[in-house]
Amino acid sequence: MAVATTVALVGFSRGLEHSTIEVYQAHGIDLVAVRTGVTQQNTSSLNESAGDRIRRVPGVRDVNPSQTDLVSLGDGGLVGIPLHGWPVDGFAMQSLSVTEGRRLTDGDQWGVLLGAGLAASLDKPVGGELEIESQKFKVVGIFTGLNVYENMTAVARLIDVQQLMDRPGQVTELQIALDGATAGDAAAVAEVRRAIEAVRDEQGQKLGLSAVPARQYVESSTEVGLARAMAWGTTALALVIGSLQLLNTMLMSVIERIQEIGVLVALGWRTSRVVRMVLYEALALSAVGATVGIVLGVLLVRWLSSAAWMGGLLRPEVSPEVLLASLVVALVMGAVGGSYPAWRAARLSAAQALRYE
C-alpha cells in the first residue's frame, strides 16, 4: 500500500508540473516576468504597462500580459478553475486551437473561451451562458488544449478579468516570447533576463521585475512545490507505517521459528548466516509487495484520471524513474523492517532456542 501511494501521489504531482510546463511551451512562452521574490502566481501584481517597456528590450519578440486567477463557477459547482485574462490580439490567445465557435474579439465583453474538458464537464455549448464569480459570461468558443490541465481552463479578455477581480491595469505575470536567434543562445537569454530586470519606470526607478525561464518558473512555483510536498509527505507517512508492519511481520516470524533457528545454530550456522536469512526473507517480502504495489498504483491512477466524478482534472505521469524509486524505497523498507528481527535472531543461542516453547 505504501508503494501504491507513492506511485499514485508522486505520479499526479509530476503530471501537474509537466502539464503546466507543456502549456507554457506550447504558447511560445520563453520567459516569465513577475514581481521579484514572488513564487505564487496569484500574489504577483504588475502594472500592465510594464509590458510595453519590456517589448523594447533587444531580443524580445513579443510580450503577453496575463491575469490568472482561480475562480468558482456557479454552474456545476466547480471551484479552483484557472481563468486566464489575455489580450485578444496577444500571441497566447492566437495560439489557442479553437475547435468550436471563434476566438474572442474586442467587442466580446464578458465573453469566454472554454477548454474542451471544462465545456464537457459543464455541458456548455457555444452560445451558452456561464456564471463566473457571480458574473454572467457568454461562451464564445471552445478550444482543445495540449493536455488535460489546459482543457480544464477558461480564457477571457484581459480587461474583463481585471474588472472581475477588481485589479484594473494589473496583471499577475508578463509572458515573454524571444526571437529565434536569442531563444537558442543561453548567453543571449541570460543577457535579456538581466536587461528585463533592469527596466525602469518614468521616474528612473527599477520596476522590481524577475525574469525566469518558463520551466524554472513552474518548477519553483508555490503551487507545484505544495503538490510535490504533499505527495512526498503522505508517501513518507505511508512508508513509516509500512516499515512498522513489516517489522512486526518479521518479528513474529522469528518468534514462531525460534526452535528452527536453534537447530540451524546447533548444526553450525554462523550468526551472520542467520542474519542474512532473516534479511533476505524481509527483502523478498518487500520485493513482492513492491511489485503488487506498483501494479495497484498504476491501476489506481488510471482509474482516478478516467473517473467521471473527477471531471478529467487529474493527469497522472507514472514514469520509469518513479517506479524504480518505489522499488528501491520498498527494499530499503525491507532492510529497515528486517534489521531488528535479524538482530533478535542472531542473539539466540542454540540452548536457549531449543528449550523455547
* Model confidence pLDDT, tens digit, residues 137-150: 999 999 998 888 88
pLDDT at 229: 82
Cell reading at 52: 510595453
Share of the chain above pLDDT 90, in %: 37
Residue of higher predicted confidence among 255 and 30: 30
Cell reading at 14: 509530476
Q: How confident is the model at residue 221 (pLDDT cuts 50, 70, 90)?
A: confident
- What's the whole-number average pLDDT of the chain? 85
Segment 84-97 shows an average pLDDT of 94
- Domain range list for the chain: 37-207, 224-355
pLDDT at 309: 45
Residue 169 neighbours by CB distance under 10 Å: 11
Cell reading at 179: 526571437
pLDDT at 205: 85
pLDDT at 165: 92
